[in-house]
Amino acid sequence: MPDEPAIELDAVTRRFGARVALDRCTLAVARGSIHGYVGPNGAGKTTTLRILATLLRPDAGTARVLGLDVRGASHAVRRAIGYMPDTFGAYPGMTAAEYLDFFAAAYRIGRRRRRDLVADVLELTDLAGAADLMVDELSRGNRQRLALARTLVHDPAVLLLDEPASGLDPAARIELRELLRALRGMGKTILISSHILAELRDMCDRVAVLVAGRVIADGRVEELLDRVRPHCALDLEFVREGDAEAARRLLRERAGAPLQALERVGRRLELTADWPEKEVAAVVAELARAGLGLLWCRPREATLEEFFLRTVTAEAPAADPGGGA
């Protein structure tokens, strides 16, 4: 069914001994979308991807890929997915083309078809010029590209990517982002685990936040940012440091305008408060009436990093009052 999610987790739990890696985790990923999956280390992101890749079995709950249960239809699921783990297994003595040919053969793709298929995948991932290079001689960026190319040799409908941008320089991350967008344009569904939140904003249709094995927030990037936008964040710059310090004191003492944060960095003030728009206008007017040399005032845009930190902090277990540092 076209409206059925490509990936669906329903109250999935997975334990490793006494440790709970996933705690009734629930997630739905729409077909043909790029869905970000973020969380602190140990939150359960890799465990989720390994369950979807049929490498781990959930202790409870259900996980489906294209409507196929990962336990009851594991062979069909494996044909439908391309899984890129967070570590790259390089095989010494193989060229990039031989490496892809090996994986295509593992999917029982015929020799004649493999030749053209490997060439196409190398071209798609911009590795055609590295086809005859040894795998263990490739740069980090090209290894990541080759790992992604490996997931594509059998033309899967769903890609599970675990930290694909880890260790890449900014230029390589931009290239990876453009490649993933192209794959989405080809109709593929992509679930991508990443700590690089700024990259997710430009890449993903939705982002899910995982903390302690549970998805605690899931929505379009703009929807998530709207949750932190009510917190007014302003940058103000003054002609002189003395003006900035006077403005800082005035704002600290001003009645009816509670502040969450106010810091001075040279001639600049960084301000965060729960103010309505009219309060911001009133404060700027008061600074002008005080004769302070305000050069400009502009809002600081809410970021996914800010949302992530606030969400994780709110969901973190309360500290033990009697505990140590």
Q: What is the pLDDT of residue 324?
A: 37
Residue 72 inside a domain? The answer is: yes
For residue 38, give both structure tokens: 């973020």
Question: Are residues 176 and 239 part of one domain?
Answer: no
Contact in structure between 257 and 247 (CB atoms under 8 Å): no
Q: What is the pLDDT of residue 323?
A: 38
For residue 272, give both structure tokens: 């965060």
pLDDT class of 257 with cuts at 50, 70, 90: low
Contact in structure between 38 and 210 (CB atoms under 8 Å): yes
Question: Are residues 256 and 197 part of one domain?
Answer: no
Question: Are residues 34 and 167 part of one domain?
Answer: yes
Q: Is 264 helix (H, G, I), strand (E, B) or coil?
A: strand
Q: What is the pLDDT of residue 55?
A: 96
Q: Which tops the pLDDT comparison, 88 or 106?
A: 106
Question: Are residues 282 and 160 part of one domain?
Answer: no
Instruction: Please tell me the least confidently modeled range out of 17-31, 47-61, 126-140.
Output: 126-140
Q: What is the DSSP string of 106-175?
A: HTT--HHHHHHHHHHHHHHTT-GGGTTSBGGGS-HHHHHHHHHHHHHTT--SEEEEESTTTT--HHHHHH
Q: What is the pLDDT of residue 195?
A: 73
CA distances from 87 to 80, 140, 147, 151, 158 (A): 21, 11, 9, 13, 19
CA distances from 272 to 155, 221, 282, 297 (A): 48, 21, 15, 13
For residue 235, give both structure tokens: 């940058």
Contact in structure between 206 and 220 (CB atoms under 8 Å): yes
Question: Are residues 277 and 175 part of one domain?
Answer: no
Question: Are residues 281 and 158 part of one domain?
Answer: no
Q: What is the DSSP string of 224-253?
A: HHHTTTTSEEEEEEESSHHHHHHHHHHHHH
Domain stops at, among 226, 256, 280: 226
Model confidence at 319: pLDDT above 70: no
Question: Are residues 253 and 153 part of one domain?
Answer: no
Question: Are residues 182 and 295 part of one domain?
Answer: no
Residue 269 inside a domain? The answer is: yes
pLDDT class of 325 with cuts at 50, 70, 90: very low
Q: What is the pLDDT of residue 315?
A: 63
Q: Over the stretch 2-38, which tens digit does the pLDDT of each residue have?
A: 578 999 999 999 999 999 999 999 999 999 999 999 8
Strands 60-65 and 68-69: antiparallel
Question: Are residues 155 and 187 part of one domain?
Answer: yes
For residue 58, which phi and psi values (nearest 5 degrees)?
Answer: -70, 145
Q: What is the pLDDT of residue 318?
A: 44
Residue 128 inside a domain? The answer is: no
d(CA 73, CA 17): 26
Residue 117 inside a domain? The answer is: no
d(CA 228, CA 198): 16
Question: Are residues 148 and 269 part of one domain?
Answer: no
Q: What is the pLDDT of residue 314?
A: 64
Range 45-72 average pLDDT? 96
Question: Are residues 88 and 156 part of one domain?
Answer: yes
pLDDT class of 206 with cuts at 50, 70, 90: very high
CA torsion sign, 265 to 268 to 270 to 275? positive
Domain stops at, among 226, 248, 275: 226
For residue 315, what are the contacts with CB-CB under 8 A and spacing of at least 6? 211, 212, 216
- The Cβ of residue 223 has, within 10 Å, a number of other Cβ atoms equal to 12
Residue 313 inside a domain? The answer is: no
Average pLDDT over all residues of the chain: 86
CA distances from 172 to 43, 120, 167, 177, 307 (A): 26, 20, 9, 9, 26
Q: Over the stretch 274-309, which tens digit does the pLDDT of each residue have?
A: 777 777 888 888 888 999 999 988 877 666 777 777
End-to-end CA distance of the chain: 53
Q: Structurally, how many domains does the chain consist of?
A: 2
Q: Over the stretch 137-191, which tens digit does the pLDDT of each residue have?
A: 888 888 888 999 999 999 999 999 998 887 777 888 888 888 999 999 999 999 9
For residue 317, give both structure tokens: 């277990």
Model confidence at 270: pLDDT above 90: no
Q: The CATH number of the domain where 236 resides is what?
A: 3.30.70.100
Q: What is the pLDDT of residue 59?
A: 97
Q: Over the stretch 231-248, which tens digit does the pLDDT of each residue have?
A: 677 889 999 999 999 999
User: Above pLDDT 90, what percent of the chain?
Assistant: 54
CA distances from 72 to 47, 55, 56, 250, 291 (A): 19, 13, 13, 67, 73
Residue 116 inside a domain? The answer is: no
Radius of gyration over every alpha carbon of the chain, rounded to an integer in angstroms? 25
Q: What is the pLDDT of residue 110?
A: 92
Which domain does 288 fall in, by range? 232-301
pTM beyond 0.85: the answer is no
Nearest partner of 249 among 280, 289, 292, judged by Cα = 292
Residue 65 inside a domain? The answer is: yes
Residue 319 inside a domain? The answer is: no
Q: The CATH number of the domain where 41 resides is what?
A: 3.40.50.300
CA distances from 14 to 24, 32, 47, 84 (A): 8, 27, 8, 21
Question: Are residues 186 and 86 part of one domain?
Answer: yes
Model confidence at 320: pLDDT above 60: no
